Amino acid sequence: MAPKENTDLRELVRKIALLNAVKHDGKAQSGPVVGKILGERSEYRTKVKEISTLINEVVNEVNSLSLDEQMRIVAKEWPETLVKEKAEGEKHLPPLPNAADYPQVVTRYAPNPDCVLHLGSARAIVLCYEYACMYKGKFILRFEDTDPKLKRPVLEFYDAIRDDLTWLGCRPDEEYIQSDRIPLYYEYAEKLLKDGNAYVCTCLPQEFRKKILASEPCECRDCPPKENVARWRRMLDGGYKEGEAVVRVKTDLNHPNPAVRDWPALRIINAEKYPHPRVGSKYKVWPLYNLAAGVDDHLMGVTHVIRGKEHLTNQVRQEYMYRYLGWKYPQAIHYGRLKITGAHLSKSKIVQGIREGLFTDWDDPRLATFAALRRRGITPEAIKKMIIDVGPKTSDVVLSWENLYAYNRKILDPIADRYFFVQNPVELTVNQIPRMFSAKLRMHPDSPERGFREYTIHPKGRSSSATFWISKKDIDVSKIGAMLRLMELFNVRIEKVNVYSAEASYVSEAYEEARNVKAQLIHWVPVGEDMPCQVVMPDATMAEGIAEGICRRLKPDDVIQFERFGFVRIDKVNDKITAYFAQK
């Protein structure tokens, strides 16, 4: 290539690589860059080999920059590309690495059924599921229930987790339960032992620790495989008690991270004392996370492991085992932590709180469990959308309830019918109403086709009066003399305010008059056309009040908006309505 041509090409590659990197969390990939170059410069199609060296070189240079640095360069040199990016709005997940290397993309979500799922689980589930869909692949649910002692699985959570996934709209194509697969793990453990790649360590834990921190082998490490297999059989036969023997996979003893060195793969649990809820006391030897998950990922054909970056060390551990067994490690995507401020996301705190009676149940509105969100009317679509927008980036992300509510509002606002709910009701008598009035209240402000609720006000008695429920927060003594507008009805002037009642007189009908004096617009329910209603708030307190009688027609799971109050999900309807508060 001529020098000039080379410089031009290099500049083009640099631009495409930077744009690609910015799109993919700071890591450009050569494949798409090559594709783009060939698309723009057909003359290079016969020189793929020559240009790919250059492309790899530039991609490496670009990837050595931080994402911030890359963005700065892009913003400075090609600002127009950023504008376009923004206008596209709808976000999509970035492509998976090397997806084309596999006949089918397979992902898995692997919870321990020791608790119900919560918002913190959403990222793993949604990313795994959405990627499987994006590539027309397979999404596996795998219950990792091999610790009957410290992370004891509970039967009801297997079903609760299945229900949660269905609710989220992330139904698995296949399901596995690790406690059904114990003999399989034994098989691979035995192979590792026979090949001299693992050993049964019978050292006292503190002795072993001392050695491993000093990068020294313990006495068991160099036992011949035959002796290790004999010890292994003894483990299975109950010849060792809990804590007396553990199978370790050999690693580099000098590995810079001591937590990687000769990691434990299987251990003994007192099966009589800690029976497993599904298989009882059938097994004394239980695989630990890295053996079970590692073997399963391979056997289940998982191509892309998508999980939090706290698992990075586990990948390093498992790669030793994969090498010993002659397997290829799947593509691993480790995303950063997702913190949601104000949400209870600690499994142990949730479980403890329920046990101590601090929370009423798994769907207590104070919790961020899917069960609680479901009950409140937070939609699975909102959760999905939020997670997809965050994507699989490696940097930590902090979100708040408000972020989730913003997504949820976009979904609920167009579909939720409107009603009036009067919290802490005060009975307002309006006098001197000159004639009969009728109010037509739209079910939805933007959709007249959804119809109206209609109330006819017949003034009665010597003072031509009618009575309404209004909310205590809308009226107090400071309002005496002020004008208020009963929404879509008429304007009144407040004359008297007591604790549970108030009096006003009719002023006029025109909305403009209320607007001119900036009168407050308040909602109301005619006395006699009401029904009691209570709303369970996110802090588990109750908002008590009165709803329109027409709310009798609502059904559980309907999500509506109580105007000037918030979106709620109807939970129960009998002689009283119980609703759960979703959000403002």
Residues that bind Zn ion (CB under 5 A): 201, 203, 218, 220
Residue 244 C-beta: closest distance to Zn ion, Å: 11
Q: Which is nearer to Zn ion, 244 or 558 (CB)?
A: 244
Nearest to 137 by CA among 281, 301, 14: 301
Using the structure block, give the residue that is written with the tokens 């992902």: 107
Q: Report which secondary-structure segment, H or E, holds 325.
A: helix 312-325
Q: Which is nearer to Zn ion, 92 or 209 (CB)?
A: 209
What is the per-residue DSSP string for 82-112?
HHHHHHT-S--PPPPTTGGGSSS-EEEE---
Residue 204 C-beta: closest distance to Zn ion, Å: 9
Compute the distance between CA of residue 379 and CA of residue 536 in angstroms, rounded to an integer: 17
Residue 263 C-beta: closest distance to Zn ion, Å: 13
φ/ψ of residue 330, rounded to 5: -65, 170
Contact 71, 79 (CB under 8 A): no
Which distant-in-sequence residues (6+ apart) come within 8 Å of 471 by Cβ? Answer: 422, 423, 424, 425, 426, 522, 523, 545
Q: Which is nearer to Zn ion, 203 or 579 (CB)?
A: 203
Question: Tokens standing for 23?
Answer: 């799109």
What is the per-residue DSSP string for 142-155?
EE----TTTS---H
Q: Which is nearer to Zn ion, 218 or 546 (CB)?
A: 218
Pairing of β 559-562 and β 417-419: parallel
Q: Which is nearer to Zn ion, 248 or 298 (CB)?
A: 248
Residue 261 C-beta: closest distance to Zn ion, Å: 12
Residue 202 C-beta: closest distance to Zn ion, Å: 6
Question: Tokens standing for 561?
Answer: 């908006």
Nearest to 148 by CA among 32, 248, 274, 38: 274
Residue 266 C-beta: closest distance to Zn ion, Å: 14
Residue 290 C-beta: closest distance to Zn ion, Å: 18
Residue 379 C-beta: closest distance to Zn ion, Å: 53
Q: Report which secondary-structure segment, H or E, holds 526.
A: strand 525-526
Question: Tokens standing for 162?
Answer: 């299945």
Written in H, E and C, the secondary structure of 555-583 is CCCCEEEECCCEEEEEEEECCCEEEEEEE
Residue 223 C-beta: closest distance to Zn ion, Å: 9
Residue 265 C-beta: closest distance to Zn ion, Å: 14
Say what angle helices 289-299 and 312-325 make with each other, to 10 degrees.
Answer: 60
Q: Which long-range contacts (CB under 8 A, 24 or more apart) does 10-18 make?
A: 10/54, 10/58, 12/37, 12/40, 12/41, 13/37, 13/51, 13/54, 13/55, 13/58, 13/59, 14/58, 14/61, 14/62, 15/77, 15/78, 17/55, 17/58, 17/59, 17/62, 18/62, 18/70, 18/73, 18/74
Q: Which is nearer to Zn ion, 17 or 245 (CB)?
A: 245
CA torsion 341-346-352-358 (nearest 10°) is: 20
**CA neighbours closer than 13 Å in the CB half-sphere of residue 408:** 25
Q: Which is nearer to Zn ion, 218 or 579 (CB)?
A: 218
Q: Which is nearer to Zn ion, 160 or 203 (CB)?
A: 203
Residue 201 C-beta: closest distance to Zn ion, Å: 3
Q: Which is nearer to Zn ion, 198 or 343 (CB)?
A: 198
Residue 262 C-beta: closest distance to Zn ion, Å: 9
Using the structure block, give the residue that is written with the tokens 């003359």: 43
Q: Which is nearer to Zn ion, 203 or 387 (CB)?
A: 203
Residue 358 C-beta: closest distance to Zn ion, Å: 44
Contact 199, 237 (CB under 8 A): no
Q: Which is nearer to Zn ion, 14 or 211 (CB)?
A: 211
Question: Tokens standing for 24?
Answer: 């993919």
Contact 468, 486 (CB under 8 A): yes
In angstroms and rounded to an integer, the radius of gyration of the C-alpha atoms of the chain is 32
Compute the distance between CA of residue 5 and CA of residue 580 in angstroms, rounded to an integer: 67
Q: Which is nearer to Zn ion, 199 or 469 (CB)?
A: 199
Encoded amino acid at 356, one letter: E
Q: Which is nearer to Zn ion, 235 or 536 (CB)?
A: 235
Pairing of β 520-522 and β 559-562: unpaired
Q: Which is nearer to Zn ion, 220 or 551 (CB)?
A: 220
Residue 264 C-beta: closest distance to Zn ion, Å: 11
Q: Which is nearer to Zn ion, 210 or 584 (CB)?
A: 210
Which distant-in-sequence residues (6+ apart) come within 8 Å of 287 by Cβ? Answer: 146, 178, 182, 185, 189, 265, 266, 295
Compute the distance between CA of residue 317 and CA of residue 294 in angstroms, rounded to an integer: 9
